Amino acid sequence: MRYITPAIIIAAGIGMVVTIPTQSLAVDQQSIAVGTLGGTMGRLGAGLADVFNKNQSAVKLSVAPGGGRSNPARVSTGGADFGFSFTNFAATAIQGKAPFKKPYPNLRAVAKFYSSCYHQYVGKDVYDSGIQTWEDIVKSTKPLKIALVKKGTSTEYTGGLIVRHLGSSYEKMKARGDKQTFTGTGANSRAIRSGQIDFYFHNSGDPNGAGIQAALGRDLRFLKLSDNIKRLLTDNGYTPCVIPGGIYKGNAKDTQSMGLSGLLLTTDKMSADTVYNILKIAQANIKTLGSVHKIYKKWTPKLAAAVGKLPLHPGAIKYYKEVGAIN
């Protein structure tokens, strides 16, 4: 949205004050929708806006609260100029797939900021009995004790996506006798450690304290992801990731998984110069941004450009090609 700074002229001889717009003094006021203002997305957005505003004067960025799930539709429909979200919600928004009711094909990726990985823990005793994949969980002929993260979270949504793809549902699995709990990661960690549950999963970076504690109290293994599930998640905007070996007791080797990436979106109508300048100024001030959030300490152009199958904005393409992050 463009605001014009007015110029005030006093008409000679008649004492009349006339206000006229002066284009040369125009400043573009643009917004970035984040998550909660003090959360990860809020801090990333606030830092980005601050360094951008201090290093140019044509555009002024401000930060507004939002949500990773709601921001794609908000940006697409003009409720915000930029918005932080996750790769899965960006992909499904563009395609018009659940949880979105219609497609938002004008969305474009600006940059990926960080990645996290799905950690899918199962007790070694259960793993050795043949429960080693999502297919095994869904098709099990015996009841299982399964913990899912709180309803409404991206992790709970991901589990439902996988289960539905395999022709089942949480309700059908419960009907066969499964014990299901929808609680937080800390509670799930304690429950699997004590044997109250057989399986739980969550999305996080490494190392993860809850996972480390869980593995100290019980032999655990990571679930394997079949090619079928990997394709499903890739098509829905998830990205490959690796859980490093040696962090979690009993899992000495790297584990291939899938995860989500936090990224910044805009639309195809956004100025290429603005997007280019945001990226260029941010990278030129990366040390300053690193003091805002540790994610920025590892934020390179190559990482930023790795948005998978999502379409990049032309301004982002120009910048990433210029610095050699993409061909």
Q: Which of 8-22, 90-104, 213-227, 261-275 has the least mean pLDDT?
A: 8-22
71 domain-assigned: yes
Q: Does one domain contain both 128 and 249?
A: yes
Q: Does one domain contain both 253 and 291?
A: no
Q: What does the alpha-carbon distance between residue 219 and residue 33 come to, in Å, rounded to a whole number? A: 42
- CA 244 to chain centroid, in Å, comes to 21
Q: What pTM was computed for the model? A: 0.72
Total count of domains within the chain: 2
Res 127: pLDDT: 95
95 domain-assigned: yes
170 domain-assigned: yes
* Residues 179, 146 contacting (CB under 8 angstroms): yes
Q: Does one domain contain both 232 and 152?
A: yes
Residue 210 is encoded by which pair of tokens?
């809850």
Q: Is the pLDDT of residue 308 over 80?
A: yes
Strands 179-182, 145-148: pairing is parallel
Looking at this protein, which amino acid is placed at residue 96?
G
Looking at this protein, which amino acid is placed at residue 203?
N
Q: Does one domain contain both 246 and 126?
A: yes
- CA 123 to chain centroid, in Å, comes to 29
Q: Does one domain contain both 216 and 142?
A: yes
CA dihedral (210, 213, 214, 220) positive or negative? positive
Q: Which residue has the tokens 């603005």?
A: 274
Task: Look at residues 260, 292, 307 and tell me which one is the last residue of a structural domain.
Answer: 260
Q: What does the alpha-carbon distance between residue 232 and residue 148 come to, in Å, rounded to a whole number? A: 19
> What percentage of the chain carries pLDDT values higher than 90?
67
Q: Does one domain contain both 32 and 162?
A: no
Q: Does one domain contain both 89 and 223?
A: no
Q: What is the pLDDT of residues 16-68, one digit of tens each?
A: 444 434 444 578 899 999 988 888 899 999 999 999 999 999 999 999 998 88
Task: Look at residues 210, 227, 260 and tell me which one is the last residue of a structural domain.
Answer: 260
User: Closest by alpha carbon to 40, among 309, 300, 325, 263?
Assistant: 263
* Residues 161, 258 contacting (CB under 8 angstroms): no
Q: Is the pLDDT of residue 201 over 50?
A: yes
Res 25: pLDDT: 54
Res 182: pLDDT: 86
User: Closest by alpha carbon to 238, among 257, 260, 213, 222?
Assistant: 260
Check which CATH number belongs to the domain holding 93 and give it: 3.40.190.10
Q: Structural domain of residue 92, as residue ranges?
A: 2-115+261-322
Q: Is the pLDDT of residue 15 over 90?
A: no
Q: Does one domain contain both 87 and 163?
A: no
104 domain-assigned: yes
Res 279: pLDDT: 98
Q: Does one domain contain both 57 and 160?
A: no
Tell me the residue ranges of DSSP E strands in the chain: 2-3, 6-11, 16-21, 27-33, 59-64, 82-86, 107-123, 145-148, 179-182, 199-204, 220-222, 239-243, 255-267
Q: Is the pLDDT of residue 7 over 70?
A: no
327 domain-assigned: no
Q: What is the pLDDT of residues 155-181, one digit of tens each?
A: 888 899 999 999 999 999 999 999 998
Q: What is the pLDDT of residues 61-115, one digit of tens each?
A: 999 998 888 999 999 999 999 999 998 899 999 999 888 999 999 999 999 998 8
Q: What is the pLDDT of residues 232-260, one digit of tens each?
A: 998 888 888 899 999 999 899 999 999 98
